[in-house]
């Protein structure tokens, strides 16, 4: 089925909206366990985030049905294909959220998402290992196929009572993160600056240490140790680094790509609050409050700008694929016939001229 003219196309990167929404809802759920937060707010945010996840998932499935050429092009693109991995990431976060309401539904979603993230990770990382990649297309998005889904799967597995499975996922995510970050830093240091349209993707840099930290807290027990604090510290450092780069990043006007900041922004206070929940005291307590407030401000601002873009019709990119109706087909056939006749006439004239020349020479 062919897309209509100016039919909006939903990029796979829109799964980032579901990821950020679900991560924020989870942050509020953790906050409710250590502070006096109304349970109604937590449930409202969770159901709203689940609704966003379902809508984006359905829209992406529709894309493969009615806009298959665009979906295939995105899947084959070395940069854009990385965002497809956000589908399983958002689904794993959804499974974790559903666990508070239906164990069976959560388990089904987890099983499907875990298998999907492994399959996608193997395929997309396999491309990376085959080489031939343009260094200019190396952005923090390459974390998405291996690092993000592994960390989230670790957290979800531990929530289902499978800490050893979670440890395996945590190892895959941790070592992939350490390997990939050096590649990204090398690209940033020695190649041309990121194009303005790709600069918001740097927001992904905040996520690995703190999403990994949440996973680490999920598969371990007892008071937070040095490694947990180290992960939080590096996450804060990355957040401060993004603040320093923000004027440079903001040369790109607001676009949905700014949702790249939201996963890390939500995971930062979640990690700090999980540490407080497990007995950490002192500076971490007020730090958790400050990070929680900052996360709500950042994600709330991005959500508000997204709604404004949606109302203004600027949220979704357009694809101009005109449908050929009967009149257009007939017109094209007539033009082809006329062109063929002209070509045949030119060929006859050339043959006649060639014949005259041969007789003159003879």
How much is the pLDDT for 349?
52
Q: How many other CB atoms are found less than 10 A from the CB of residue 17?
A: 23
Mean model confidence pLDDT for the chain: 88
Q: Average of pLDDT values for 165-191?
A: 94
Percent of the chain clearing pLDDT 70 (strictly above): 86
Domain boundaries, the chain: 7-318, 324-362
Exposure of 229 by Cβ count < 10 A (0-12 exposed, 13-18 middle, 19+ buried)? Answer: middle
Structure tokens at 41: 């707010």
pLDDT at 224 over 80: yes
Three-state secondary structure string covering the chain: CCCCCCEECCCHHHHHHHHHHHHHHHHHHHHHHHCCCCHHHHHHHHHHHHHHHHHHHHHHHHHHHHCHHHHHHHHHCCCHHHHHHHHHHHHHHHHHHHCCCCHHHHHHHHHHHHHHHHHHHHHHHHHHHCCCCCHHHCCHHHHCCCHHHHHHHHHHHHHCCCHHHHHHHHHHHHHHHHHHHHHHHHHHHHCCCCCHHHHHHHHHHHHHHHHHHHHHHHHCCCCCCHHHHHHHHHHHHHHHHHHHHHHHHCCCCCCHHHHHHHHHHHHHHHHHHHHHHCCCCCHHHHHHHHHHHHHHHHHHHHHHHHHHHHHCCCCCCEECCCCCCHHHHHHHHHHHHHHHHHHHHHHHHHHHHHHHHHHHHC
How much is the pLDDT for 7?
66
Rounded to 10 deg, the angle between the 68-76 and 39-66 helix axes is: 100
Q: How many other CB atoms are found less than 10 A from the CB of residue 118?
A: 17
Of 28, 40, 29, 34, nearest in space to 293 by CA: 28
CATH superfamily of the domain spanning 7-318 = Voltage-dependent anion channel (1.50.10.150)
Of 251, 243, 238, nearest in space to 196 by CA: 251
- The answer to whether 319 and 7 are in contact (CB under 8 A) is yes
Of 83, 146, 139, nearest in space to 117 by CA: 146
For 58-115, write each residue's pLDDT tens digit: 999 999 999 899 999 999 998 999 999 999 999 999 999 999 999 999 999 999 999 9
Q: Average of pLDDT values for 296-312?
A: 95
Q: Which of 4-8, 21-25, 175-179 has the lowest mean pLDDT?
A: 4-8
With a CB cutoff of 8 Å and minimum separation 6, the contacts of 206 are 235, 238, 239, 242, 261, 263, 264, 265, 267, 268
**How far is residue 91's CA from residue 296's CA, in Å, rounded to a whole number?**
22
Residue 318 bridge partners (DSSP) = 8
The answer, as to whether pTM is greater than 0.95, is no
The tally of CA atoms less than 13 A away on the side-chain side of residue 138 is 21
Structure tokens at 239: 């957040």
φ, ψ for residue 48 (rounded to 5)?
A: -65, -45
Q: Which of 35-49, 158-172, 208-222, 338-352 has the lowest mean pLDDT?
A: 338-352
Q: How many other CB atoms are found less than 10 A from the CB of residue 127?
A: 15
pLDDT at 347 over 50: no
């Amino acid at each position: 089925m062919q897309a209509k003219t100016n039919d909006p196309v939903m990029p796979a990167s829109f799964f980032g909206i579901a990821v950020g929404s679900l991560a924020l809802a989870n942050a509020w759920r953790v906050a409710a366990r250590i502070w006096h937060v109304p349970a109604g707010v937590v449930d409202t945010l969770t159901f709203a985030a689940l609704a966003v996840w379902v809508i984006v998932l359905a829209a992406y499935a529709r894309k493969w049905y009615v806009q298959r050429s665009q979906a295939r092009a995105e899947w084959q693109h070395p940069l854009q294909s990385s965002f497809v991995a956000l589908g399983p990431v958002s689904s794993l976060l959804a499974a974790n959220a559903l666990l508070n309401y239906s164990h069976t539904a959560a388990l089904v979603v987890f099983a499907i998402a875990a298998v999907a993230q492994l399959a996608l990770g193997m395929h997309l990382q396999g491309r990376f290992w085959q080489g031939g990649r343009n260094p200019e297309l190396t952005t923090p998005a390459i974390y998405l196929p291996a690092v993000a889904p592994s960390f989230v799967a670790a957290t979800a597995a531990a929530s289902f009572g499978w800490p050893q499975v979670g440890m395996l996922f945590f190892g895959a995510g941790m070592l992939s993160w350490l390997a990939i970050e050096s590649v990204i830093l090398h690209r940033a240091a020695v190649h041309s600056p990121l194009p303005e349209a790709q600069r918001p993707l740097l927001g992904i840099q905040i996520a690995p240490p703190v999403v990994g930290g949440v996973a680490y807290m999920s598969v371990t027990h007892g008071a937070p140790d040095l490694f947990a604090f180290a992960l939080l510290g590096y996450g804060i450092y990355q957040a401060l680094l993004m603040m320093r780069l923000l004027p440079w990043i903001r040369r790109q006007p607001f676009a949905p790509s700014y949702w790249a900041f939201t996963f890390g922004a939500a995971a930062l206070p979640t990690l700090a609050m999980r540490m407080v929940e497990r007995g950490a005291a002192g500076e971490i307590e007020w730090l958790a409050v400050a990070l929680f407030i900052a996360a709500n401000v950042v994600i709330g601002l991005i959500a508000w700008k997204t709604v404004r873009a949606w109302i203004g019709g600027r949220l979704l990119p357009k694809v101009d694929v005109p449908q050929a109706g009967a009149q257009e087909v007939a017109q094209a056939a007539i033009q082809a016939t006329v062109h063929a006749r002209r070509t045949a006439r030119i060929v006859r004239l050339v043959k006649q001229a060639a014949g005259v020349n041969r007789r003159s020479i003879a």
